Structure 1
């Protein structure tokens, strides 16, 4: 029984592939440049599905992938029925509240623009603030600049994008790393294979 792993494209994919190679998995060189959405690695009994980051937990929850690699931000936002097995400690970043410097939030229902409506509304509710959430899918930094929102909630890695757009951070919400997640049924049916993968990855994490 082979294992199917859903992975997001981009930075997490590159760092995860490096981690798997260090754990002794023989992934072919063309793996890195592939335009394919499904990559078979018969020698390792593995199959990879390349997906949008937000879709990875969905694929795992529905069982079309046994395992997935997803950022903690996606896990918090999506709240899918999957188990989190391992903090892979890759793709470090954090979720933060940002906006234009020296600006106060509106007194009445301040507007917050974000790709993470669930995380953002939970955070402001915990602060005792009633806010209006505006969901955007990209270029979140634009929202305060064009008067669409008082604040944004977004992922910050280096902080360069915020600086280049004249924005500042106000609060950090949560630190983010990528996690290995599993479908609960797969975990029962393919436990030996999955435990082997977890053991091998555990040994190389943080080396």
Structure 2
């Protein structure tokens, strides 16, 4: 039996993707959820899972160490990797937004924008005709305008609670985000039947759930 390797991010996306896979009929052992291993084999289903940082998933798929991956659209937009998007899984819904301190104005000259998504942020402000200075951060983006590092942030918003708790307000919504099933182009040709079956089974679940 050929083995399909799927790269998945830890956390919320991983948990919601497991629910979809189980509903699609894939027999994943109960201990799978609590497993701390980075590589997990499910031999009876011909699947191997690589657990990775969200930003690394498209890289693993592009380089072929994983045939498939599950990645947020935010990561896909930022990374711009050479992979195919096969299916919108409609899970882990959120959106990218511009936020900052309330009742503040952007600086007249090259306002500073802090973000984990420098490519997406730069493209967005360029489309708005605004020249900005992008400051890349890897965590606690909300802190940047609070300590005067930036005028605005571009970050993921789910419930908006984090913004409120840190005294920030949302200014513009950039793009809606959900998680996508992606594939390596070469793997898609080699394992076309098995990958097509996976997509079909997951598509039925997504449609049935009304996601």
Moved over 6 A (4+): none
Q: Which residue of 1 aligns with 2:205?
A: 204
* Alpha-carbon distance in structure 2 between the residues aligned to 1:69 and 1:167: 30
| Alignment map for 1:14-93 (pairs within 5 Å) | 14-93=15-94
Instruction: Report the TM-score when normalising by structure 1.
Output: 1.00
Instruction: Report the TM-score when normalising by structure 2.
Output: 0.98
* Alpha-carbon distance in structure 1 between the residues aligned to 2:6 and 2:137: 28
CA deviation map 1:70-126 (0-9, x unaligned): 000000000000000000000000000000010000000000000000000000000
Q: Which residue of 2 aligns with 1:121?
A: 122
Q: Which residue of 1 aligns with 2:163?
A: 162
List alignment gaps of at least 5 residues for structure 1.
none
* Alpha-carbon distance in structure 2 between the residues aligned to 1:179 and 1:124: 25
CA deviation map 1:29-82 (0-9, x unaligned): 010001000000001000000000000000000000000000000000000000
CA deviation map 1:160-204 (0-9, x unaligned): 000000000000000000000000000000000000000000000
Any idea what SS the aligned residue of 1:121 has? helix
Q: Which residue of 2 aligns with 1:95?
A: 96
* Alpha-carbon distance in structure 2 between the residues aligned to 1:99 and 1:170: 7
Any idea what SS the aligned residue of 2:188 has? helix
